[in-house]
Amino acid sequence: MITFIKGRLKGCLYAFKGGIILLRTEPSIQVQFVIAILVTIAGFYFNISTTEWLIQIGCIGLVMTAEGMNTAIEGIADFIHPDFHIKIGRIKDIAAGAVGIAALIAVIVACIIYLPKIF
């Protein structure tokens, strides 16, 4: 039981370390992080409901997770095949497209939550 708990704690430390590396080194996740802070401030300012908070936090998590996975996929692809390759380019485009879809959904959700409060 103790080794199980130690293993989970180590896993949490690795995850935290990875998140810090991602935030420190990737400009795209830094932009997403700033946007997350801004919509969080907006949430407090407009006093959004608990349901709106849950949806907003879910969208933030979705976009940041997609961005992290995209970064990992690009890193692996570049490691495996550093030179241009059409299939590697396609894989990287698909990963970036997933981030784009998540971001688009987050923008739509933000519009649904905030536009009625603004107008």
* Domain membership flag for residue 70: yes
Per-residue pLDDT 10s for the chain (119 aa) are 888 998 899 999 999 999 999 999 999 999 999 999 999 999 999 999 999 999 999 999 999 999 999 999 999 999 999 999 999 999 999 999 999 999 999 999 999 999 999 99
Q: Is residue 9 part of a domain?
A: no
Is residue 18 domain-resident? Answer: no
Q: Is residue 41 part of a domain?
A: yes
Q: Considering the domain boundaries, does residue 62 fall inside one?
A: yes
Kindly state whether residue 111 falls inside one of the protein's structural domains. Answer: yes
Residues 60-83: b if buried by 16+ CB within 10 A, e if exposed = bebbbebbbebbebbeebeeeeee
Q: Which CATH number characterizes residue 107's domain?
A: 1.10.287.3610
Amino acid at 69: M
Rounded to 5 degrees, φ, ψ at 20 are: -65, -45
Residue 67 within a domain:
yes
What is the pTM for the complete model shown? 0.90
